[in-house]
Amino acid sequence: MTVWRAQTNSVEETIELAAALGSMLKPGDVVTLDGDLGAGKTHFAKGIAVALGVNGVVNSPTFTIIKEYEGNMPFYHMDVYRAEGQVQDLGLEEYFYGDGVTVVEWASLLEEALPNNRFACSIHLLGETKRELILKPVGEENRTRLEGLVQWQKF
C-alpha cells in the first residue's frame, strides 16, 4: 500500500494540508482520522471543510456525534469517540455512500463499519505545534487519485 507522509509546524499548516486533500474530494468520499487526543484531527477536518466551501464554524461533534454542513457539497463531520455501542443506530451508510464528503474522527473505533474505499489519515504529535500526518489511500481508485497531490511526500 502506498503511503504519503507530511509534517506540519502549526495549526495553519495542518489546515492548509487538509484543504489540499479536500480540494480533490468528491461526493461519497470518506476520510478517516485517528491520532492522539489533541493531535489535530478537528483542525484537519476544518481544512477539508474550507476546501468544500463550508462557511461558519466547524468544531468537534464530540457530544452530538455527527454534524452536517452545507458548502459546495454536503460535509458530514463525525466524532465517534463516544459512540461505542451506537454504531448500528447511526445510519452510517447514508453518509458514507451519500452525496457529500464524510470525515470520521476516531475511526478505528468502528473499523468494521467503514467503507472499503476511503482515505485513512493518522496524525501524530511530534512536539507542541509539530505534527506528522500519514495518509493511506484505501482502494485502488483512491491511490491513483492521491498520486497527483504533490504536497504529500511518498516514502
Beta strands in the chain (DSSP E): 4-8, 30-35, 66-69, 75-79, 101-105, 118-125, 131-138, 153-154
Topology adopted by domain 4-124: Rossmann fold (3.40.50)
pLDDT at 71: 95
Percentage of residues in the chain having pLDDT higher than 70: 90
Per-residue pLDDT tens digits for 124-147: 999 999 999 999 999 888 888 887
Comparing 61 with 18, the larger pLDDT belongs to: 18
What is the pTM (predicted TM-score) of this model? Answer: 0.91
Residue 122, pLDDT > 60, answer yes
Distance, CA of 132 to CA of 123 (rounded, Å): 6
Instruction: Give the Cβ contact number of residue 107 at 10 Å.
Output: 23
Q: How confident is the model at residue 154 (pLDDT cuts 50, 70, 90)?
A: very low
The stretch 90-115 carries a mean pLDDT of 90
Indicate the domain borders of the chain: 4-124
